[in-house]
Structure 1
């Protein structure tokens, strides 16, 4: 049996769950270091429809290291709810070095949208999306990947961020809200219940 070298099996399940590609909204949730950003980029790159999705990363919405809850609320209020009404939505950027918000980025309706990051999938956002994806990963793997990506910037905030995320997931239970559940390996994501050798 050939060992997979990418997330093609996970993408195939996403396309099957999505149905005919159009102006759908996809939410990708999971803990830090689970591979959400990479998988979102792969979905965008391999999108089966004629229009390339817009990609919004929650990292751009957090107003600082304690901003998980605020960003989750802003996603629904400023972006998803207006889009659900056929109106222009927006998200507000944040300058992590300067420590303040920057500008609003408009998002017009009528094109597919992928939102990835911690806090993307809540009970409020779930009802406004067409496909809800959860990516899980073993704790040690997550931490290695997150710190390899962000290094010394993330390390002092890891424990506090984890506590905030555990509070969020205990209340919202995003894994239960998901239509598709995936898990991370060292290099890609696979559907839950599959092995990396399949």
Structure 2
């Protein structure tokens, strides 16, 4: 993880003064865990030693599982591009409502993780797009086990929505790096970025 962290922190900014890094992949692929480890690895390489993380689950909602592009661009990307702290309203999945604004500083490196983080509308602002290399057939059962039987109906709805999303707006073909979990931690493979 160290070499990747060094590479990312040394890359030129992509969103105003911010190096915006996206971690995408199927639900249940391990994005949140990987992103937390990447943030820890990046922390010593950036001034201030803190790497903010935006979880796209905070921008999605029951009514708009993938309809958060406008909110991301308006509430997060636009302020970061201007070098100011962003404020977004996280969604509470239990009460089914958006809550009080949460700050996201315009740090030297900011991580965005979640299904669809590498969508076409976001890619122009990204320094790098990382893809967790686990198929939906592998990832979705992991997610279902993690969330338990109580969310099985939600998962039934989610898998249909995710399939439709990636058919219309795939991220993997544009990934700079493919991340594969292995016994030693993570194996990093070159992606095949193409012109958006």
Same fold (TM over 0.5): yes
Conserved? CA contact 1:59–1:117, under 8 Å: yes
- Runs (4+) of structure 1 exceeding 6 A deviation are none
Aligned match for 2:27, one of 26, 29, 32: 32
Which stretch shifts more, 70-79 or 177-186? 177-186
- Which of the numbers 52, 55, 58 marks the counterpart of 1:57? 55
Paired position in structure 2 for 1:87:
84
Pairing 1:1-198 to 2, within 5 Å after superposition: 8=1, 12-13=3-4, 15-16=6-7, 19=10, 23-47=18-42, 48-50=45-47, 51-64=49-62, 66-185=63-182, 188-192=185-189
Instruction: Give the structure 2 partner of residue 3 of structure 1.
Output: none
- C-alpha separation between the residues in 2 aligned to 1:68 and 1:82? 23
**What secondary structure is seen at the aligned counterpart in 1 of 2:66?**
helix
Per chain length, whose mean CA-contact separation is higher, i.e. which structure has more relative contact order (CA < 8 Å, sep 6+)?
1
**What whole-Å deviation, never above 9, does each CA across 1:15-59 have from its counterpart, x for those lacking one?**
435535984211111110111000000011111334210011112
Q: How many residues align?
A: 183
Once residues 147 and 156 of structure 1 are traced to their aligned partners in structure 2, the CA distance between those partners, rounded to angstroms, is: 10
Local SS of the residue matching 1:97: coil
Displacement of 1:185 in angstroms is 4.8
Native 8 Å contact 2:9 2:46 kept in 1: no
How far 1:141 moved relative to its partner?
Answer: 2.8
Query: Does the CA-based 8 Å contact 1:18-1:130 persist in structure 2?
Result: no
**Alpha-carbon distance in 1 for matches of 2:177, 2:101:** 31
Structure 2 unmatched runs, 5+ = 191-196
Alignment partner of 2:83: what SS? coil
Whole-Å separation in 1 of the counterparts to 2:183 and 2:61:
30
CA–CA distance in structure 1, aligned partners of residues 6 and 163 of structure 2? 29
